Structure 1
Amino acid sequence: MIQKISTAQAAMLVFNAIAPTATVVLPIILGTYLEQDSPIGILFSACVGMAIAALIGSIIKYNQGAPFLEWIGKRSSRWLAVVLGIFLLQYYLDASAAIMREFVNFLKDNVLLQTPVFVLVGTSLLIIIYAAHKGIEAIARVNSILVLLYLLFLPSFMFGLGDYLNVHRLLPMFQHSFASVTLASLTPVAWMSEVSILLFLAPYLKSPDKARRIGWIGLLFVTVIMQIIMLTTLMTFGPEYLKSSTYPGFVTFDIIHFGNFWENLNIVFISYWILSVYMKLAMFLFATLECFKQTFRVRENGPYLIGLALIIAAECLFTWKQPAKLNEFNAQGRFPVYMLINVLIPLSIYLCCLVKRTVAKRKGQAA
């Protein structure tokens, strides 16, 4: 029996597929280009992300939640589906490895300073393999609990920063050109495009016709969280601090305390973030497995799940060994890769479907 997830659970999956790593990487990228205008960059990228979500949702509604690559094979040719599947498989393997490396780098720099990297990767691997093996329904249930905990953490976060927030640090605004806003928004748009993971979650949706709404709700929540983190960081430290700190969003956690009896709460927030990253990695590993199964017509998980996870670990350990190389890719190389895989390919497929449907209607009317 195929596991099914509700619309709310799917929206929370979309949120957690983007938010955990975006909160680490985006503040410094946006702050470098836009300084106090960084919230404008988030809004701009959110608008583009909503358009991408509409595209992905339209494809899922059109194919009625069918397995993506199998549907392409039936609509066009089997070999096209295989070639496209190989490209998508490479994308998900690389994306998963980059996510894991960002996660490991953060732990190594801030939490587990003396722990070897391979131990961190190995431990993470065991957790996400177990989660992916349990299936998307189990991942969705745990993920929903984590996302709902935001209702507890966000008020605590805002209340703890109350004495440090200074709205004057946001001034002056609207000092950057539209070109600067566009340039700064490229990387956030790339992260927003990860809503395309819905293409491989579609067979497990209870209501595939609501995929567009699922994407919009998930991206809206991402936008709200990113705005809160960006605004509070700016109002606490000012725009110049964003350029000099490696993890500006997390530094704000260090100063939160409630009186003298409850302080050093950063470990609470970091522990929660670690759980969120595990859920994101489990989702991407599950999507990688689905892509592999659809590409090569494999029905059973078998040893493939472990094999794909080991490939991700190997790329994490060796390809992204140098943090500077990964940061450069995030700032410059991520946008074209993500746009090709998450936007241009789905858009081309959708346009071809529309053309075929139009031609078929005209032939029917002529007959």
Structure 2
Amino acid sequence: MKNSIQKFSNLQFFMMMIGFITPFGHFIFIRLTYVYAGRNAWISLFCSAILGVIFIYIQFKSASKSPDQSLIGESVQAFGTWFGRVIGFMYICFFLLACSLSIHVFTQFLNLLFPLTPSFVFVFFLLFTMAYVVHAGSEALTRTIQVALPVLMALGSLVSILILKERDWKQLLPIMENGFFPVWHGSIIFLTMFAELVVFRMLIPHTNTPKNLPKQGLFFVMVVFFMFLGPTTGPIMIFGEDLARSTLYPTFEEIRYIQLFDFIERLDVLGIFLWVTGAFIRSSVFLLGAAEGMAELFKANKNNLYVLPITFFVFALELSLKSYTPEKTYHFLASSYSVITIFIGILLPLMIDMVIGFRHKWKSGWNGGKEV
């Protein structure tokens, strides 16, 4: 008999989402947006937030109609057992790919700071910690994030306050000098970030009141927008458009630029802590989604049965990416990965929800207006 499902509150659910999206978005997605939108990245953020509101609301509204089913269960319901399980396996593969890429990008960052330490050391210790927490269950992960996230948000607010006097608002002008297309391309990068949230549809059965998720999701997008507005405009206003574009980690460089009083000139450790914690949360959520997906797909007796095997798989996959330089990784994230993620995270769930809705209406009409 399968273990009883672990539950957590909606607040813990959204705290997990904020911890998942914010640090990686600050360090990576903002930089990718600079490549296309430059100083207009804040407009790209605004456009993607509008699309994100629509996407989040539709996703949660559809999921709240069948709160006991994960995304894989809905895939089977929409397309039948065989094809639905194939789609479910696609999602598991995507979660593992995203987990491996997240760890790879994180270790590339650490290798710049600690070039003498082999990258597999960072990978091993991060994966060991992740596997331990995920094996303990979703409740353990949410409680860990519940402790870490307020610290992250407090440190992020501190950075924004300390760097405020260094910002030159004139660097944001002129607006859209190259038209709207670069802004739209930048919006696609931020939309990729929202599309990755599809992993949380694996966790909706764990929430206490899933019917409240659609409205609460709108507030979540608004919080994310304001949490990203400062980091998106900050490096441009401090370093200028050209330098912010050419820097691998502009948000981290902004943190390093902070000078506190006359004797604290470098706050690198602050940026490292934010990045380490964010990478752990993001990778753990992807690992949890993949582990629960595997357990559901193969009807395991325990949700954590496949945590160890997929952890080894992620370790091997990350090591296979060793030849990818930061530039190649960024190119993949901004091109192929964006296309894959938007299809997997937005278009395919919409197809699943539409098919389920159509089948419900068809059955209702077939039975004289009565649901079966």
1:82-135 superposed Cα distances (whole Å, 9 cap, x missing partner):
2111111111111111111011111111x3221101111111111100110121
Q: How does 1:59-98 map to 2 (within 5 A)?
A: 59-74=62-77, 76-98=79-101
- Residue 301 to residue 361, structure 1, CA distance change in 2 (3 Å): closer
CA distance in 2, matches of 1:221, 1:313: 33
Q: Which amino acid aligns with 1:189?
A: L
Q: How does 1:354-365 map to 2 (within 5 A)?
A: 354-365=357-368
Three-state SS of the structure 1 residue aligned to 2:335 is helix
Overall identity of the aligned pairs, in %? 20
Three-state SS of the structure 2 residue aligned to 1:262 is coil
Which residue of the partner structure matches residue 34 of structure 2?
A: 31
Kept after mapping to 1: 8 A contact 2:27/2:252: yes
Which residue of the partner structure matches residue 332 of structure 1?
A: 335
* Stretches of structure 2 lacking an aligned partner (at least 5 in a row): none
- Residue 33 to residue 61, structure 1, CA distance change in 2 (3 Å): same
1:178-216 superposed Cα distances (whole Å, 9 cap, x missing partner):
222112221211111122122100111111112323433
CA distance in 1, matches of 2:120, 2:305: 22
Worse-matched range after superposition: 327-336 or 294-303: 294-303
Which residue of the partner structure matches residue 350 of structure 2?
A: 347
Q: Does 1:300 align with 2:299?
A: no
Q: How many pairs are equivalent?
A: 366
Kept after mapping to 1: 8 A contact 2:29/2:193: no
Which residue of the partner structure matches residue 225 of structure 2?
A: 223
- Residue 217 to residue 321, structure 1, CA distance change in 2 (3 Å): farther
Task: Report the CA distance between 1:12 and its aligned residue.
Answer: 1.4
Q: Does 1:7 align with 2:7?
A: no
Which residue of the partner structure matches residue 54 of structure 1?
A: 57
Which residue of the partner structure matches residue 204 of structure 2?
A: 202
1:276-332 superposed Cα distances (whole Å, 9 cap, x missing partner):
211111111110101111111112256521110111111111135312332221111
Q: Does 1:241 align with 2:243?
A: yes
Which residue of the partner structure matches residue 283 of structure 1?
A: 285
Worse-matched range after superposition: 297-306 or 283-292: 297-306
Which residue of the partner structure matches residue 165 of structure 1?
A: 167
Task: Report the CA distance between 1:17 and its aligned residue.
Answer: 2.0
Normalised TM-score (structure 1): 0.93
Q: Which amino acid aligns with 2:61?
A: S
Three-state SS of the structure 1 residue aligned to 2:361 is helix
CA distance in 2, matches of 1:77, 1:122: 39
Worse-matched range after superposition: 94-103 or 317-326: 317-326
Q: Which amino acid aligns with 2:119?
A: V
Which residue of the partner structure matches residue 19 of structure 2?
A: 16
Task: Report the CA distance between 1:220 and its aligned residue.
Answer: 2.8
RMSD: 2.0
Q: How does 1:145-160 map to 2 (within 5 A)?
A: 145-160=147-162
Task: Report the CA distance between 1:36 and its aligned residue.
Answer: 1.5
Task: Report the CA distance between 1:366 and its aligned residue.
Answer: 6.9
Which residue of the partner structure matches residue 126 of structure 1?
A: 128
Three-state SS of the structure 2 residue aligned to 1:162 is helix
- Residue 150 to residue 20, structure 1, CA distance change in 2 (3 Å): closer
1:127-156 superposed Cα distances (whole Å, 9 cap, x missing partner):
100110121112112212222224422342
Normalised TM-score (structure 2): 0.92
